[in-house]
Amino acid sequence: MTKVRINKFLADSGISSRRKSEEFILQGRVAVNDTVILDFGHQINTDKDIVTLDGEKIKP
């Protein structure tokens, strides 16, 4: 089980920079397991959590 902050996960996935990822999160565009996340410090389990940006699944 690997836990990582949601903003780092998005940045490492190549979606955007960490700063831009934080903007996406604060805009309510990011969800984890169908729940919108507004805290860019939120930790996810990269082995089982499903992360989406604007409804599109993000792969690590």
Domains of the chain: 3-57 (3.10.290.10)
Quick one: pLDDT band at residue 60, thresholds 50, 70, 90?
Answer: confident
Predicted local distance difference test score (pLDDT) of residue 5:
96
- DSSP string across 11-59: HHTTSS-HHHHHHHHHTT-EEETTEE---TT-EEETTT--EEETTEEPP
Percent of the residues in the chain that have a pLDDT greater than 70, as a whole number: 98
Whether the predicted pLDDT of 40 surpasses 90: no
Decide if pLDDT at 28 tops 80.
Answer: yes
Q: Given a cut of 80, is residue 18 above it in pLDDT? A: yes
The model's pTM: 0.90
**Residue 19 confidence (pLDDT):** 94
